[in-house]
């Protein structure tokens, strides 16, 4: 009997030796949390390429629609299911850093960002004076117009000042027999905070105003410069150059002469307009007093609760910082410029994608980077943005004048700021 026991124990020992290499080779799984619009064709190719270079790594995507994305990040973190890698809107950065969802980048990552990214992108990922991630896409705003509609209205060039825009919009607006607008000289988009607030901020800054105080303790957009900027928008409504029913999404239909839009809309316009895409023109936002436009940023970061922070940062640096190929660009730069249709924020990528970034649509956005101001990363930034949108829309709908709308927004926002900035 003892002989069989010895043999059995030897077999068990051999089995243990056979199993242990498999256990030792268990892969490190990195969960990558992204929003739907970032999940374009080609991203999986980069993930698979990295896994081939690092067979010990497995990268799993979690993809969430943008409108649910922030809530998903917060709920997952509270429930202990936070991701290793995040791609987030910079405006959420204060909450994500304060709540312990994001990990502070290593010094080498911060140094790379300071050295190699366009300044406005560095500002976009700076929270309380420190860098909290790697900038990816940057989105500023410009005037997008329909060349054919302008030409039919007797104009060979887009407007250069806001007063010119108002006059042109009035003449380019057409009405049906019931008095409803069938062709918009200019259109906004009510109900989407970025489409309401970002154009207003561009006008505010162009008019010499400020959004918030430098210490974030007080709203400043209800200054005379801010009231004048909103009044300039309201003039479009009063003089029937637009109304609240317009939508920038109707531009491909050929019934909108002018709108303010971001660079990422290029692929949509190309796809939906076909040959009529040749009618699309892009120019700087017409100035009030000086050139200025608004810009927002996305950045990649690592979860503070991640058990594999080094591996996560290594992957992100491979994706965003390793220069490769004949054009000397990064993988992230290629992905953003070629697949997402967005402007990369690393200097070498902005410079070395001439085909994508110096084309009919995007070239103006690139030139306007020098006049772009990043929206500030402030506590409760998303909530503040919605408050400002609602008050601006109240003015659009004629429920308040410009002064009352901005004063009411400032009162609500100041109450929020007082809780976070002493």
What is the pTM (predicted TM-score) of this model? 0.90
Task: Name the least confident of 11-15, 86-90, 252-256.
Answer: 11-15
Q: In the structure encoding, which two tokens stand for residue 311, read together?
A: 């591996």
**pLDDT tens for each residue of 315-347:** 999 999 999 988 899 999 999 999 998 999 999
For the four alpha carbons of 113, 114, 118 and 123, in that order, the dihedral sign comes to positive
Which band of pLDDT confidence, cut at 50, 70 and 90, is reported for residue 22? Answer: very low
Q: Within its chain, how far is the Cα of 166 from the centroid?
A: 28
How far is 320 from 307, CA to CA, in rounded Å? Answer: 22
Residues 6+ apart with CB under 8 A from 306: 82, 83, 84, 85, 103, 312
Average pLDDT over residues 15-33: 67
Q: At residue 14, does pLDDT exceed 50?
A: no
Three-class SS state of 136: strand
Polymer length in residues for the chain: 422
Please state the three-class secondary structure of 302-354 as a single string: EECCCCCHHHHHHHHHHHHCCCECCCCECHHHHHHHHHHCCEECEHHHHHCCH
pLDDT of residue 188: 95
Compute the mean pLDDT over every residue in the chain, rounded to the nearest whole number.
93
Q: Does residue 182 register a pLDDT over 60? A: yes
Work out the average pLDDT over 207-226. 98
Q: Are 86 and 305 in contact (CB under 8 A)?
A: no
Q: Do 134 and 125 contact (CB within 8 A), yes or no?
A: yes
| Structural domains in the chain plus CATH codes | 24-139+296-374 (3.40.190.10), 142-294+377-420 (3.40.190.10)
pLDDT reading at 248 higher than 80: yes
The whole-number pLDDT of residue 79 equals: 87
The mean per-residue pLDDT over the stretch 264-273 comes to 94
Residue whose entry in the numeric block shows the structure tokens 């069938």: 182
What are 372's strand-pairing partners? 293
**pLDDT tier for residue 78 given thresholds of 50, 70 and 90:** confident
**How many CB atoms neighbour CB 41 within 10 A?**
10
3-class SS of residue 369: helix
DSSP state string for 185-199: SSB--TT-HHHHHHH
Predicted pLDDT at 25: 62
Categorize the per-residue pLDDT at 10 as very low, low, confident or very high, splitting at 50, 70 and 90: very low
User: What is the rounded average pLDDT of the residues 182-201?
Assistant: 96
* DSSP run (H or E) holding 183: strand 181-183
């Amino acid at each position: 009997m003892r002989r069989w026991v010895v043999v059995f124990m030897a077999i068990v020992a051999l089995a243990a030796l056979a199993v242990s290499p498999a256990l030792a080779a268990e892969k490190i799984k990195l969960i990558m949390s992204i929003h739907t619009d970032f999940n374009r064709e080609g991203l999986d190719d980069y993930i698979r390429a990295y896994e081939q270079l690092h067979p010990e790594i497995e990268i799993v995507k979690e993809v969430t629609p943008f409108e649910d994305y922030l809530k998903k990040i917060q709920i997952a973190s509270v429930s202990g299911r936070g991701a290793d890698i995040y791609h987030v809107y910079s405006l959420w950065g204060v909450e994500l850093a304060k709540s312990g969802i994001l990990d502070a980048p290593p010094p080498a990552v911060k140094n790379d960002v300071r050295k190699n990214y366009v300044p406005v992108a560095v500002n976009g990922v700076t929270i309380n004076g420190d860098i909290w991630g790697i900038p990816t896409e940057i989105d500023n705003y410009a005037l997008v117009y329909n060349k054919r509609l302008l030409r039919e209205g007797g104009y060979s060039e887009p407007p250069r000042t806001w007063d010119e825009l108002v006059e042109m919009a009035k003449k380019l607006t057409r009405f049906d027999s019931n008095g409803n607008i069938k062709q918009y000289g200019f259109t906004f988009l009510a109900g989407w905070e970025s489409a309401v607030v970002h154009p207003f901020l561009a006008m505010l800054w162009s008019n010499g105003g400020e959004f918030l105080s430098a210490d974030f303790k007080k709203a400043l957009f209800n200054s005379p410069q801010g009231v004048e900027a909103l009044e300039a928008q309201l003039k479009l409504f009063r003089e029937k150059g637009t109304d609240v029913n317009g939508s920038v999404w109707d531009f491909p239909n050929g019934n909108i002469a002018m709108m303010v839009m971001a660079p990422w809309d290029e692929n949509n316009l190309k796809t939906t307009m076909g040959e009529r895409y040749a009618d699309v023109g892009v120019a700087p936002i017409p100035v009030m007093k000086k050139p200025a436009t608004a810009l927002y940023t996305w950045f990649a970061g690592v979860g503070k609760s991640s058990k594999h922070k080094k591996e996560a940062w290594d992957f992100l640096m491979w994706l965003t910082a390793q220069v490769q190929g004949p054009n000397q660009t990064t993988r992230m730069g290629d992905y953003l410029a070629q697949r997402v249709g967005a402007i990369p924020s690393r200097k070498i990528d902005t410079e070395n994608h001439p085909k994508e970034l110096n084309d009919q649509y995007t070239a103006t956005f690139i030139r306007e980077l020098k006049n772009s101001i990043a929206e500030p990363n402030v506590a409760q930034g998303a909530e503040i943005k919605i408050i400002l949108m609602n008050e601006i829309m109240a003015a659009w709908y004629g429920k308040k004048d410009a002064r009352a709308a901005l004063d009411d927004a400032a009162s609500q926002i100041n109450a929020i700021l007082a809780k976070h900035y002493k």
